[in-house]
Structure 1
Amino acid sequence: MSELAGGVVLRAKRRSDLGDDYAWRIDPELARLDSRPVSRVTFEEFEQEFLAALEFPPPGVLSLSIDVGGEHVGNLVAYDIISGESCEIGVVIGRERQRHRGIGREAVTAFLQHAWHRLGLRRVYLHTLEDNAPARRSFEACGFRASARVQRQAWMIRYEARREWWLMEDERTPYPKRKQVAREDNDSSDGNEPVTC
């Protein structure tokens, strides 16, 4: 899509992502954060699935890679895309050293702008573990609001963002940046730092 602040780039998946994506699929910590069992898929099985999706992308799915400084650090996938309506997203920062640096927040913010202005969507939603406080703060900083508590493998919080919430904000200062400025103003009296990831 494009380069964002801090050198974060959202781009289409490519064959060179295969090794990273496989490592992240079988990573126990990432599986826990995604509230799914650790994948037992072999590399060969994963490669076949990966290459098929590159050649014939599944309908209603948009798979993107997140790069920083030319390095593939994570993925953002939009699925269940209903034209003109909604989609669900999942985001992962696979490289541990790149987590908690605001990369996911930048990528999600860019995707939301793409969803509103290019895809014509009205609502984007996601689920995250109830006890994953860093992810929850990050999504809230992007303009998501908690909308439900859902039982899956573990308790999850469903978050959603709506196009009209963004359109109510000043277009020159995107929602997350404006919210960050407001939070800094509100927190200055009690010494709390603004939320960053």
Structure 2
Amino acid sequence: MNKQELVLRGVRVLLRGKRMEDAEKDYIWRSDPEIARLDAAYPLTMKYDRYLKIFQDQIRWPTPGSHHFGIEAAGGKYIGNCMYYDLDSQAKAAELGIVIGDKDYWSGGYGYDAVVTLLQYMFGDMRLKRVYLHTLEWNHRAQKSFERSGFNAVRHVRRMSHDFILMEVLREDWDATVEERLARRQQYLEERGGMPVNGDDAVAEAV
């Protein structure tokens, strides 16, 4: 199966392969100073035409050991991206990243749902033993969401002139709590309201 055809279904989001039509919104989001700051990055300054060529190359020749997903909410609305990268096949570990670029969908549980959905795939289908991420030390809102998803803080890390918290989920911990965690996700998202992703909103699943 072509990984670009891979679709993962959560409660409120759908994760699907990246598409060329994502480029315009990605460019807008990556040029936004507020979003860039949350990602410990600088806002894009390059022209859109140049960015579009880079984007096209990334879809055509993806980095080995990584896979990028577009995040869709109900109605097929594209709201952000999540990915795994730096896959270590021997250690069975990979890093996870996520950004909700559409600010109308901040604090609505969409990022949380996307992370749990991707973790299900990484531990279930990919059979990884460890998933980790780095979040900025001052971003307590993100840390709280990651903790809810199953991550635990490991240590402080200094890199690229920023202070991060390294967080991880281990396979044995995920397997021991997955049923309870998925039930809590359902309850948490129902309490927050919003539209679930249903069969009418989703493309055909390939998992």
Unaligned runs of 5+ in 2: 1-6, 193-207
Which of 116, 121, 146 pairs up with 1:114? 121
TM-score after normalising by structure 1: 0.85
The aligned amino acid for 1:157 is I
CA gap of 1:23–1:63, structure 2 versus 1, over 3 A, is same
Question: Do the aligned partners of 1:143 and 1:176 also contact (CA within 8 Å) in 2?
Answer: no
Which of 75, 84, 94 pairs up with 1:78? 84
SS in 2 for 1:124: strand
1:124-166, CA deviations, whole angstroms, 9 ceiling, x for partnerless residues? 1111111111111100001100011112332111111111101
Give the C-alpha shift of residue 3 in structure 1: 2.6
Question: Do the aligned partners of 2:113 and 2:185 also contact (CA within 8 Å) in 1?
Answer: no
Higher relative contact order (CA 8 A, sep 6+): 2
Unaligned runs of 5+ in 1: 184-193
Which of 144, 161, 176 pairs up with 1:168? 176
Question: Do the aligned partners of 2:11 and 2:186 also contact (CA within 8 Å) in 1?
Answer: no
Matches within 5 A, 1:61-72: 61-69=66-74, 70-72=76-78
Distance in 2, Cα, partners of 1:174 & 1:52: 41
Question: Do the aligned partners of 2:136 and 2:162 also contact (CA within 8 Å) in 1?
Answer: yes
- Partner residue in 2 for 1:19: 24
- Partner residue in 1 for 2:106: 99
TM-score after normalising by structure 2: 0.81
SS in 2 for 1:168: helix
- Partner residue in 2 for 1:5: 11
1:8-48, CA deviations, whole angstroms, 9 ceiling, x for partnerless residues? 10000011101011111111011110112222222122111
Question: Do the aligned partners of 1:141 and 1:180 also contact (CA within 8 Å) in 2?
Answer: no
Which of 143, 158, 165 pairs up with 2:166? 158
Distance in 2, Cα, partners of 1:2 & 1:125: 20
Distance in 1, Cα, partners of 2:142 & 2:48: 29
The aligned amino acid for 1:73 is I
Question: Do the aligned partners of 2:134 and 2:167 also contact (CA within 8 Å) in 1?
Answer: yes
Give the C-alpha shift of residue 90 in structure 1: 1.2
Which of 109, 128, 135 pairs up with 2:135? 128
Question: Do the aligned partners of 1:31 and 1:38 also contact (CA within 8 Å) in 2?
Answer: yes
